């Protein structure tokens, strides 16, 4: 994985926290509370229940009508057809210029209340004011509610029940299926043309990547850059990388992983530790991009950089068919056209 927007240390961790912080500290900061009774401000219809990936069964008197979710989670649910029920979001939602953060996907960020645009900006008061039925977020470590601050999680989870879906350690497609299951329980029509077309595109993209990896077996390194460190990501724990590897992509596996297992942090002097033909570079706004990295001699010397074989990596993918299909297509094209240079 990488830094800031990847998971644990990465998923908005390293750079967002202002440097290479400890993975355990970051996850502790993101919280791991258990939900209690919800407020049911807008629940209606018959009884509703859902068992999340903590094996926590949430039961309400009716289908939740007022949902507050992590931005990326809300965007994925939106892709499956859940829209008006999402009343609030927390996490990276708007950029400094006012445009939607990439994690917001196709979500209309002007229609929802932003109760925190970055880590530790979760406003309990705004959350309570929304009278939420349900809080939904990702879970990168067992029991940890992503972007729910640890110091206020008890207050937050007393205001509404919570659902957490795992976002790592299982392949991307499995997580997407869980999101579809949740969306379906919330009333989404999973047979709607928008959804079935997106699934078809996803499946075609996956097959294209499989064929590209088979016909042109180049070595790929998923990575991320910060001012002081270069991060080599682990395809054995990041959901998207796990899936790409299962399709045959020759993703490099770091041999000295940092605590948490998401990546190996390297000094820039050692950025060439893993020779690669293609660099899958973390493209989150908090990470360094090629134009920022150009001044680093060790970056410029990498064979893949010299060959111009760098492709963007959305290291916090949107867990929907619509959100993930374009990412797979981009990688397939990069693998297909790459030359061996390592």
31 and 180 share a domain? yes
Q: What is the mean pLDDT of residues 316-337?
A: 97
Q: Is 142 strand, coil or helix?
A: coil
Q: How many domains does the chain have?
A: 2
pLDDT in tens, 71-122: 999 999 999 999 999 999 999 999 999 999 999 999 999 999 999 999 899 9
Residue pair 224/231 in contact by the 8 Å Cβ criterion: yes
Percent of the chain whose pLDDT exceeds 70: 87
173 and 28 share a domain? yes
CA angle 247, 4, 340 (to 5 degrees): 40
136 and 184 share a domain? yes
**How many angstroms separate the CA atoms of 120 and 44, rounded?**
32
Q: Judge whether 18 lies within some domain.
A: no
Residue pair 122/116 in contact by the 8 Å Cβ criterion: yes
C-alpha distance from residue 336 to each of 159, 215, 216, 275 (Å): 50, 8, 6, 18
Q: What is the DSSP string of 182-229?
A: HHHHTT--TTSHHHHHHHHHHHHHHHHHHHHHHHS--EEEEEEE-SSE
Domain boundary among 143, 175, 190: 190
170 and 227 share a domain? no
pLDDT in tens, 179-232: 999 999 999 999 999 999 999 999 999 999 999 999 999 999 999 999 999 999
Q: Is the pTM of this model over 0.75?
A: yes
132 and 254 share a domain? no
CATH code for the domain in which residue 82 is found = 3.40.50.1980
329 and 228 share a domain? yes
Domain boundary among 167, 190, 213: 190
Domain boundary among 165, 190, 215: 190
Q: Can you give the residue range of the structural domain that contains 81?
A: 24-190
E strands within 228-334? Answer: 229-233, 250-251, 263-267, 278-282, 310-313
């Amino acid at each position: 994985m990488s830094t800031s927007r990847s998971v644990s240390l990465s998923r908005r961790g390293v750079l967002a926290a202002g440097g290479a912080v400890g993975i355990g500290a970051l996850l502790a900061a993101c919280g791991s509370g258990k939900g209690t009774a919800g407020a049911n401000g807008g629940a209606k219809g018959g009884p509703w229940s859902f068992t999340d990936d903590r094996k926590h069964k949430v039961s309400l008197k009716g289908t939740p009508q007022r949902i507050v979710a992590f931005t990326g989670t809300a965007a994925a649910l939106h892709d499956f057809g859940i829209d008006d029920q999402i009343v609030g979001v927390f996490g990276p939602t708007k950029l400094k210029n006012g445009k939607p953060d990439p994690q917001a996907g196709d979500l209309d960020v002007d229609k929802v209340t932003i109760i925190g645009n970055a880590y530790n900006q979760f406003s309990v008061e705004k959350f309570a004011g929304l009278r939420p039925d349900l809080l939904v977020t990702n879970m990168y470590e067992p029991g940890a509610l992503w972007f729910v601050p640890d110091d206020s999680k008890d207050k937050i989870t007393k205001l509404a029940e919570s659902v957490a879906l795992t976002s790592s350690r299982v392949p991307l497609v499995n997580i997407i299926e869980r999101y579809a299951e949740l969306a379906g329980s919330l009333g989404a029509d999973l047979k709607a043309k928008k959804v079935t077309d997106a699934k078809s595109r996803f499946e075609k993209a996956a097959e294209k990547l499989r064929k590209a990896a088979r016909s042109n077996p180049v070595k790929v390194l998923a990575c991320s850059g910060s001012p002081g460190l270069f991060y080599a990501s682990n395809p054995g724990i990041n959901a998207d990388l796990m899936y790409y590897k299962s399709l045959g992509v020759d993703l490099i596996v770091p041999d000295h992983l940092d605590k948490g297992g998401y990546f190996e942090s390297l000094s820039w002097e050692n950025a060439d530790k893993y020779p690669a033909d293609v660099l899958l570079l973390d493209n989150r706004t908090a990470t360094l991009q090629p134009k920022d990295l150009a001044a680093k001699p060790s970056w410029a010397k990498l064979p893949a950089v010299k060959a111009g074989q760098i492709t963007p990596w959305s290291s916090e993918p949107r867990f929907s068919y619509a959100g993930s299909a374009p990412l797979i297509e981009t990688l397939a094209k990069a693998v297909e056209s790459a030359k061996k240079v390592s």
